[in-house]
Structure 1
């Protein structure tokens, strides 16, 4: 990562009519949240089948018992947005980020200041009722589970509550997916940040943008499946690259 590369990438963002971004687990790990698929990821400690929608439907008690353990391993005593989250919020506030798609379920983009990220895998800080579809903050429900209400049920209709995330075996929410795809087609510059770009359909979003002529900017510690197509391929810490990039974009306005 050189100063000139940052300046050149910033110029592409600044001059673009539509700028989009996709974020993956590498943005959250900088806040101390473990990822799922690496050698030391969460799925080396837990069986993904325990979090399959079939298991939720057949054994909601067991599912919720394991879910609470997973949540505590993921989020521990708390977590905060990091410099990468804040840089993306700064770009949006300055009018240089028109849409943000995230694979993460931690809600950190909203806490950093992004107004309406497209959460294609849902949000683990919420729960949804399987009956009336009412959504609510997850923390009070988690506490009810810890106190023995397993599975937790909706206070309005009595049906079982479900984490408001996409479980294994479920399709991605169509509205969010279509919005993400539309954004990738319209983008003149596309940031793919902290993602290995191997999990579909999210991995196709920056590919679609690049195929439609967008400037593709990748920020990830390791090479990705799209690195050879990127106009800028920053293999560095997202908390270093994104603040430098945001500063260069805003200062050059």
Structure 2
């Protein structure tokens, strides 16, 4: 570990220890260490199973069948994924009372697997671990949908109203969840430390939140493998693997 990295880790530890209200903001990079593929890495399986735009999904039963085929193909690729160091670190921050909730762009449910309650995870892009009816909003579990899909070749309708079932993710062209966006903005404006872990910060409106926190007086920290467009705004930027960076923080410093 170089001295420069040591100094960056010391600065991060100091900001964490001094913060009263911290916010964790996570993107795909926190989950790639758990085996969940991201969208932008060359050769990503998402390129072979591209998410289908919302309007196309609504317009055609054939397209909906293809969307579900792609969905299940991707699920199989990371079925065994488990929370990594970053997920567990944030869960510890929440349980300590230093972090009211985590804001995430991810749809994999790993924050909940790490021990956070649904109320402690603000999912800006939805959740891919279950489905909802587009008409009545009823939740449906994926196992039942997949069983019928594989038997009959089509996803079943909603068992309550007969409506269209869709993975509970936000598709391209679909409206962002208003409650989640409102909660994320309120939390962003209440924090004195905004900690970005593993986001390229290119997908809006979610990527506007770090700048909002900074303008409101919070310290902005970005931990990511690659540069982001907001690095120049940040108070601290650490480039590297999230797991190894947070492992080093956990081993070297205690937060009082």
Question: Is TM-score (shorter-chain normalized) higher than 0.5?
Answer: yes
Q: Which moved more, 1:119-128 or 1:11-20?
A: 11-20
Return 5+ residue gaps in structure 1 as ranges. none
Corresponding residue for residue 55 of structure 1: 56
Return 5+ residue gaps in structure 2 as ranges. none
SS of corresponding position for 1:203: helix
The alpha carbon displacement at 1:246 in A equals 4.6
Q: TM-score, normalised by structure 1?
A: 0.91
State the distance in 1 between where 2:243 and 2:24 align.
15
State the distance in 1 between where 2:207 and 2:36 align.
21
Tell whether the 8 Å contact from 1:25 to 1:103 is kept in structure 2 after alignment: yes
Choose the corresponding residue for 2:221, options 209, 217, 221: 217
Corresponding residue for residue 144 of structure 2: 140
State the distance in 2 between where 1:246 and 1:191 align.
16
Which has the higher relative contact order, 1 or 2, with Cα contacts under 8 A spaced 6 or more apart? 1
State the distance in 2 between where 1:152 and 1:225 align.
43
Residues 151, 70 of structure 1: alpha-carbon distance in 2 compared, 3 angstrom cutoff = closer
Corresponding residue for residue 5 of structure 1: 8
Corresponding residue for residue 19 of structure 2: 16
Corresponding residue for residue 114 of structure 1: 116
The alpha carbon displacement at 1:40 in A equals 2.5
State the distance in 2 between where 1:60 and 1:105 align.
24
Note the 1:190-201 alignment, pairs <5 A. Answer: 190-201=194-205
Residues 95, 4 of structure 1: alpha-carbon distance in 2 compared, 3 angstrom cutoff = farther
State the distance in 2 between where 1:75 and 1:187 align.
37
The alpha carbon displacement at 1:62 in A equals 3.0
Corresponding residue for residue 80 of structure 1: 82
State the distance in 2 between where 1:148 and 1:235 align.
48
